[in-house]
Amino acid sequence: MKQTWLLLATAAMLTACTEKHATTLKEAFQHDFYIGTAMNVPQIFEIDKAESDLVATHFSAIVAENCMKSEEIHPEKDRYFFDEADAFVAFGEKHGMFITGHTLVWHSQLAPWFPYDEAGNKVSREEMIARLKEHISTVVGRYKGRIKGWDVVNEAILDDGSLRMTPFLEIIGEEYLELAFRFAHEADPEAELYYNDYSMSSPAKRERVVQLVRDLKAKGLRIDGVGMQGHMGMDYPDVAEFEKSIEAYAAEGVKVMITEWDISALPTIRQGAEISDTVSYMQAMNPYAEGMPAEAEEAWNERVRTFMDLFLKHSDKISRVTAWGVTDRTSWLNNWPMPGRTNYPLLFDRENNLKPVMQEYLNRK
């Protein structure tokens, strides 16, 4: 009898030791949420082959970092440029990924011609609505059934909860928000539609985003999800406020997505992600140009664990966690808000290795 128990215990121990650990991020999180990354043009065309291979191996979702923004995809009123976006979608289809289009309506990187007529005057409300409809219908229509989700409107609300004064708000008025979602749904009735923004744990912004979701739903419009960009630093956002926002958005009956996750390892100069808000170079704000000291690395690792564990705790609400880039080397945070910094915000290091803190999640039971 004793021998039988001993045999059983040994077998159980051996099973536990040989239990297969995940070898990729998408395997590790396959029961939790899509794990994604933003792709830049060198990765899309496999010019940066090493990073393209990391994307194909580790991620189950991709989003276009820049190539689908209006200044890139619709550079002139009567000219579109789809080469990069076509290659992006083809890459995602080749690897069976969830493909997100970013972004249909955004004040930044807005094609310069968009709000102006040929004489350089602001166009009429009717003309701006016509341009908005034509842009959305053309871009969404081209990828109908292939791009599964769209960041329809990006960063339309300020941290104080007011609407950002953009050419869309100025010329069309608040109705541009519902028009954007309506046009996107008409162009692809199957596609998921999202509102996407940064600093989404700011209480005033949270309240306004909740109101936006309610307003769109009250008008019978489709909105499937709210994108919390997740641009973070070592000292922001407050974890409790971030969790409150996850719960508040989910309570509106929409998916929550972490859409642009990175954690700056450097001293915070600016919170959020206001791309136009930059500062000139200051050596003191670039302390790890030659590499991160061990204690700084462990502090960053702990920050990653805090938020990744929060995402896993709420995996019933969170459908996707997307890093805003593949390796530290190509992160936008090496140049924002201060050009020329050496930052360490992403899941892979400059040698294309998965960081140890993320290895811990491969080995989760």
Active-site positions?
A: 155, 260
d(CA 56, CA 33): 17
Q: Is residue 48 within the footprint of ligand G3I (CB under 6 A)?
A: no
Question: In the structure encoding, which two tokens stand for residue 52, read together?
Answer: 């393209």
Minimum distance from residue 65 beta carbon to ligand G3I (Å):
5
Identify the residue whose tokens are 């040994």. 10
Minimum distance from residue 345 beta carbon to ligand G3I (Å):
11
Q: Tell me whether the omega of the peptide bond preceding residue 337 falls within 30 degrees of 0, making it cis.
A: yes
Q: For the window 68-87, what string marks contact with ligand G3I as x by the rule CB under 6 A?
A: -x------------------
Minimum distance from residue 77 beta carbon to ligand G3I (Å):
20
Minimum distance from residue 102 beta carbon to ligand G3I (Å):
6
Q: Which of 41, 63, 65 is nearest to 52 (CA)?
A: 41
Pick one of 275, 310, 357, 362: the residue that binds ligand G3I (CB under 6 A): 275
Which uninterrupted H or E stretch holds 138?
Answer: helix 125-142
Q: Is residue 260 within the footprint of ligand G3I (CB under 6 A)?
A: yes
Minimum distance from residue 335 beta carbon to ligand G3I (Å):
8
Q: Is residue 66 within the footprint of ligand G3I (CB under 6 A)?
A: yes
Residue range at the interface with ligand G3I (CB under 6 A); choices 65-73, 220-228, 295-303, 352-360: 65-73
d(CA 291, CA 81): 39
Residue range at the interface with ligand G3I (CB under 6 A); choices 62-70, 160-168, 182-190, 338-346: 62-70
Minimum distance from residue 71 beta carbon to ligand G3I (Å):
8
Q: Which residues of 292-304 are buried (b: 16+ CB within 10 A; e: fewer)?
A: beeebbeebbebb
Q: Which of 322, 323, 345 is nearest to 334 (CA)?
A: 345
Pick one of 32, 51, 65, 188: the residue that binds ligand G3I (CB under 6 A): 65
Write out the binding residues for ligand G3I, residues 301-340 only, by CB under 6 A.
Answer: 332
For residue 123, give Cα distances in angstroms to 112, 172, 237. 13, 10, 39
Q: Report the residue number, 92 or 129, with the smaller CB distance to ligand G3I.
A: 92
Q: Is residue 187 within the footprint of ligand G3I (CB under 6 A)?
A: no
Residue range at the interface with ligand G3I (CB under 6 A); choices 45-53, 64-72, 131-139, 296-304: 64-72
Pick one of 81, 82, 95, 109: the residue that binds ligand G3I (CB under 6 A): 109
Q: Give, as one character, the DSSP assignment of residue 154.
A: E
Alpha carbon distance, N-terminus to C-terminus of the chain: 31
Minimum distance from residue 312 beta carbon to ligand G3I (Å):
24
Residue range at the interface with ligand G3I (CB under 6 A); choices 16-24, 61-69, 179-187, 236-244: 61-69
Q: Report the residue number, 154 or 264, with the smaller CB distance to ligand G3I.
A: 154
Q: Which of 80, 128, 108 is nearest to 229 (CA)?
A: 108
Q: Tell me whether the omega of the peptide bond preceding residue 103 falls within 30 degrees of 0, making it cis.
A: yes
Q: Is residue 286 within the footprint of ligand G3I (CB under 6 A)?
A: no
Using CB under 6 A, count the residues that bind ligand G3I. 12
Q: Is residue 273 within the footprint of ligand G3I (CB under 6 A)?
A: yes
**What's the gap between Cα 139 and its chain centre?**
19
Q: Report the residue number, 192 or 274, with the smaller CB distance to ligand G3I.
A: 274
Write out the binding residues for ligand G3I, residues 132-171 only, by CB under 6 A.
Answer: 154
For residue 154, give Cα distances in angstroms to 108, 226, 237. 9, 10, 19
d(CA 167, CA 19): 56
Write out the binding residues for ligand G3I, residues 222-241 only, by CB under 6 A.
Answer: 229
Contacts 24+ apart (CB under 8 A), 17-21: 19/365, 21/362, 21/363
d(CA 166, CA 20): 51
Confirm if 153 and 179 have CB atoms less than 8 A apart: no
**Footprint of ligand G3I (CB under 6 A):** 65-66, 69, 108-109, 154, 198, 229, 260, 273, 275, 332
